[in-house]
Chains A and B, each alone.
Chain A
Amino acid sequence: MTIQKTDASDEQLVGSVMSGDERAFRQMYRRHCPSLYAMALRLSGGAEDDADELIQETWIRAVPALAGFRRQSALRTWLTGILINCHRERIRRESRHNKVQLHEDVSDRQLVDSAIADRLALETAVHALPDGYREVFLLHDVEGYAHHEIAQLLKIQPGTSKSQLSRARRLLRQKLMDRDDSRGEAV
């Protein structure tokens, strides 16, 4: 007799979590959280405590709202939307309290999968992007969302998404070039 079953689909998990099933929630969390956490960490400029809070807030907001999940998008997309909303609200709160901080030092964090300096520099440059640019850049170039999906997630026009992406890339290239130049001068 076997009592194991294959992984439940997102749809099955949504139903189970809505009925309060803790195990189903843990399965949902483990399936989607690594992607959400990478996003949260980058949105938070590499600050792990902030990313933790963002993730916690996202799930606490998402679980009671699952009834409103229309299944028109993938569950991860829906969760990413909540994550971004939580991030934006926090930015607004923090800007009111003048507590915005940028965590430039990412050298000891998980953000890079190796010590390759270019990637590290890119992470740092991404953290320095203005919030709107950073969101579009992460969603499009890192997460692979299309502009029309980003438009829905961020409640902007697809054209705005395209232009912000373009500006984000330009800023990042400039930042990386500046770094290369300063490195060349140092040598």
Chain B
Amino acid sequence: MLQDGDEGPLPEVQGLVREISPPPDLENRIVGELNRRGYLKRKRTNMMTLFAVAASMATFAVGYTLGSRNEAVMDSTREYALLLYAGPDFVQAPADDPDRHVRTYSAWGTDLARRGLLTDAGELGADSWLLREDGSTTDFSSARGAQPEGELTGFFLVRSRDATQALEIARTHPHLRNRGTIALREIVTGQTPAR
């Protein structure tokens, strides 16, 4: 019921937007602050742990099995990268079995390695940077889970003595001139098996 003299809602209100995207970096600032205060746990995720375990197991298995010159290896002439993401909907291992993913992923990798189908695996380090075509570089080290915009279209593995050199190399990549974005992460474990 309207109050006396109230003509009801203004028609212009219908045109107002109800939702506005906050600045992209605000989420990470808030998560960082909540982590700092201990309200959230910056987990070393199961994903990270499983990479380490899978890498070591797979490397061992590849080294072990390469000697048999598996037929699959002989016939393999191409390599493909499986890039694993864990978004907000990712199902974490249950609290009463935190290593469940580690076991299943490692078993998967070991099986591939036995068949000569696994080349490498690695764990990504905590330090991370985002390079953009305008020359800017954002340090995402304290903002785990931050992702560059757009579709993942490729990757290069480069060798460098440290992060500074890796950033220098990354800045020369023509992808930036094409207005692409590059995420730079260190691979801290995993090693390419001897061929």
Contact = CB atoms under 8 A, between A and B. Distances in A.
Q: Do A and B bind each other?
A: yes
Interface of A: 3-8, 17, 19-27, 29-30, 33-35, 37-38, 41, 48, 52, 55-56, 59-60, 63-64, 110-114, 116, 118-119, 121-123, 141-143, 162-163, 165-166, 169-170, 172-173, 176
B5 interface: yes
Given A26-B145, A119-B12, A3 B91 contact: yes
8 contacts: A20-B41, A23-B92, A34-B21, A59-B34, A60-B39, A110-B21, A111-B16, A141-B13
Contacts of B15: 112-114, 116, 118-119, 122
Interface of B: 2-10, 12-13, 15-23, 26-27, 29-31, 33-35, 37, 39-43, 86-92, 95, 144-145
A169 B10 CA distance: 7
> Which of B21, B34, B91: most chain A CB closer than 10 A?
B34
Given A38-B18, A111-B20, A169-B7, A25 B12 contact: no
B40 A34 contact: no
Given A34-B19, A112-B17, A113-B17, A166 B5 contact: yes
B12 A22 contact: no
Majority-rule SS of B interface residues = loop
Specify which of A26, A35, A110, A116 lies most central, judged by the most chain B CB atoms within 10 Å of its CB.
A26
Chain A interface helix/strand/loop/mixed: helix
A95 B23 CA distance: 27
A170 B6 contact: yes
B10 A119 contact: no
Contacts of B145: 22-23, 26
A37 B30 contact: no
A30 B30 CA distance: 12
A30 B88 CA distance: 10
A112 B15 CA distance: 8
Contacts of A37: 19-22
Contacts of A170: 5-6
Contact of B2 (A56, A59, A113, A166): A166
Contacts of B86: 23
Greatest chain A CB density within 10 A among B18, B20, B89, B91 is at B20
Contacts of B37: 60, 64
A81 B95 CA distance: 32
